[in-house]
Structure 1
């Protein structure tokens, strides 16, 4: 199924797009709220969810007039902040309430900014309900791409990740059959050029300082390990129908080229711009239109030279492991992703070392037998089993 509608079959956009923002208190969610503030004549926020940040939920609902709300962590049902909600707001609790927002009849577009595997069911529900899905939850496609992609009608699934948005933009108007390679760019993270001996000693505080992007904690650590780039390779494989080995990770330290595509005749198209997520978020909400710039454009006359390099998969073994999970396919990406989420959180909490993240992913993959994906329930079972094993391995790393 192509992501792109033919020019004569593009669905009519409503004059005002009614938007649900899942994960509105996170980095992508907050920036999506910014875009909606900038375009109140084009975007109306009708539904919002958070994991547990009820104060942020109430603030956004009061400001933007959202009336459908959900809190994923049901233990916050009695949060005092919820008493400040205006009349007419409906609040649900638990993961099912978040998924329910994606199916509402008065929602046209779902922005899935939920972090990790938790956003998978909501992404599936949005596509099954024929909503536009603007998704920043790459784990949905990595883990459940075999289930989600068949539901994705042309023009209804639009990536928000800067790299996949760039690839998407480069392919608009092109014949996908002419695509021979994707150049998936990567800043290299804060430890680019470091040896494995050096990586053994890095701290969470150092890993959380990204050289070019401002992101949430989980994805910032994933960027430091290059796990994020492995996940993005699998994501691009599903989205654009390319083999894992036809997607080349390219170090681009300045984060000005957000990705490139190469065609059969040797031509290469690249999407360039500021290191600012407001741009891909706005493009996902405006497609196929382009609205005024949400951030200051780059002055290319003042830019430092753009450089390129090759990703070091021996030093940053998480990249190689996750790419291998993509080659194996089936339920293996689910197991690798679950292992990474556990190990990533453990490293941030000071419970294991930086290279232990790689060791946990490797051991979980070794002890997983991949089978074809057949349901969300099956993936939930694989995820739970892999997390249990990863937690055991983290405990062993501490002892």
Structure 2
């Protein structure tokens, strides 16, 4: 995978640790507004369906940022771009904390776009030091930063909201993102040594990236990422709100969400280990697609009479599938990418994921507006996963 000379193992571990923490902060900041949605909705007297609009705008910004960030990563370096991503996220959180609806629009653009570029930047950086054999496991370990960030958001968000209110909870997250961006600075000499200052951005970069990922080899992974990331966005956006509308407290709902996220950490590592020569990654991803679809179609069965343990079983199914596919898909995308286009292809496949994160929360919001049913929203958004699973598992 890498076109660079081998580096000591300690450099790889340092890169992995830095990018893990960078993506953890990015995930925490991006997921905090949906986690705190019950408090925000109540304080600003909003319709809960507007949360889907916020997520849709955030995903649209993420789509554009991920499709176009490749040239900027090459020009400024992956670590510098990671710092920029954290600063954009902090600016978005600060705008959301200000409160007026128009500020949430700019918050979704800056925060969503900034956080989304953390994955292409970290994948580019790790690609310099990791071997093809190590890739599925290393990328899976790095991607455990997502459930780690969601776990922190699920635990700390409601806690800080109870102590200081939702606005100061967002401000605290913004300050943490800025602080970690500064912590990364001493690492730049090593990790940005490959940057190309003369590299310029061209509008044609968008079309070139799309053309490559729509070739037969990468096409199933692009559309698989669309489905996976879309259902993940639905789960992380609406699950806590769903539980609070069933009658559970924000603290209890956030705690159950956090517990479910814990499952995703060993889940991602296990799938990465399994996909490293033990099970064909395409078949493994197909099985995960069927699993997340099955979890989604069970949600209409959940009622206020259900115990938290029963709801937790379904949430665990979501976490082990819809929250755990990332490392295998990223490693397989890099393996199938044409020479010299690993970063572009990763960003391109992830941009299809952002299309899913844009469309499916809006579909969910439409179902919620017309039927008032959270369970039906989950089922409708998850059902296409059966088709994607069949496509990925079908042998060519």
Question: TM-score, normalised to structure 2's length?
Answer: 0.29
Q: TM-score, normalised on structure 1? A: 0.29
> Comparing both structures, which one devotes a greater share of its residues to strand?
1
Bigger fraction of residues in helix: 2
Higher relative contact order at CA 8 Å, sep ≥6: structure 1 or structure 2?
2
